[in-house]
């Protein structure tokens, strides 16, 4: 939902100005939707897909940052290793009814870590606000927290162990001829987010 509202919606607004005759029906949610069954022309997803009836094109990286507020770090100290997180309040995003594991690279190998703390949220924007308010450490996507990192409300930690999440992809059903309205949207989105998305610049 947060990716859609913060980063896809501005592209939709540009698309509507360029193509005012096209009627747009947009939906934001955190679950995978069956595009063919739902009659959906195109989707933007975190991660890929395994459906052979769909085309998936990577359009941007999914950069994850482990971070906390300056106030929290002043009170509790800054973790220097991934294992130090066990002694901190880690605030997590919940998807599918369970907290999402945090991703790191340790000794050049990927590592997923289950962390715990006083709060789990199903809303990423709300989680960002609580981390910035000093209640703990979060691992959040840069498409969500770029402004907070730039203005110092959030401070990156464990940067040497940072790992990428599943890439952001644009997905659409396989068709012999892709409708021009879909081609125009995919081209606009791709041009806007490549070679580097605006939130990572």
Which pair of structure tokens corresponds to residue 82?
Answer: 């991934």
Please report how many Cα atoms fall inside a 13 Å half-sphere around the Cα of residue 85, on the Cβ side. 26
Burial classification of residue 41, based on how many CB atoms lie within 10 Å of its CB (0-12 exposed, 13-18 middle, 19 or more buried): middle
Alpha helices by DSSP H, the chain:
2-3, 9-18, 35-38, 70-76, 124-132, 142-150, 180-193
Strands 120-121 and 92-95 come out as parallel
Delineate the domains of the chain, giving CATH numbers in brackets.
2-61+166-200 (3.40.190.10), 64-161 (3.40.190.10)
Q: Please give the chain's pLDDT, 201 residues, in tens.
A: 899 999 999 999 999 999 999 999 999 988 878 888 888 999 999 876 667 788 889 999 999 999 999 999 999 999 999 999 999 999 999 987 888 999 999 988 999 999 989 999 999 999 999 999 999 999 999 999 999 999 999 999 999 999 988 999 999 988 878 899 999 999 999 999 999 999 998
């Amino acid at each position: 939902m947060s990716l859609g509202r913060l980063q896809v919606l501005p592209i939709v607004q540009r698309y509507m100005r360029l193509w005012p005759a096209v009627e747009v029906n947009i939906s934001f949610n955190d679950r995978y939707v069956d595009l063919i069954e739902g009659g959906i022309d195109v989707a933007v997803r975190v991660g890929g897909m395994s459906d052979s009836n769909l085309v998936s094109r990577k359009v941007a990286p999914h950069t994850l940052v482990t971070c906390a507020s300056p106030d929290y770090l002043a009170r509790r100290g800054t973790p220097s290793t991934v294992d130090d997180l066990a002694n901190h309040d880690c605030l997590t995003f919940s998807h599918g009814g369970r907290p999402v594991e945090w991703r790191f690279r340790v000794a050049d190998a990927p590592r997923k870590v289950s962390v715990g703390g006083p709060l789990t949220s199903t809303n990423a924007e709300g989680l960002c606000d609580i981390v910035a308010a000093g209640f703990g450490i979060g691992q959040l996507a840069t498409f969500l927290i770029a402004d907070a990192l730039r203005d110092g409300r959030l401070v990156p930690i464990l940067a040497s162990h940072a790992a990428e999440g599943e890439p952001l992809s644009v997905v659409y059903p396989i068709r012999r001829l892709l409708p021009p309205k879909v081609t125009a949207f995919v081209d606009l989105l791709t041009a806007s987010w490549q070679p580097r998305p605006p939130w990572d610049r």
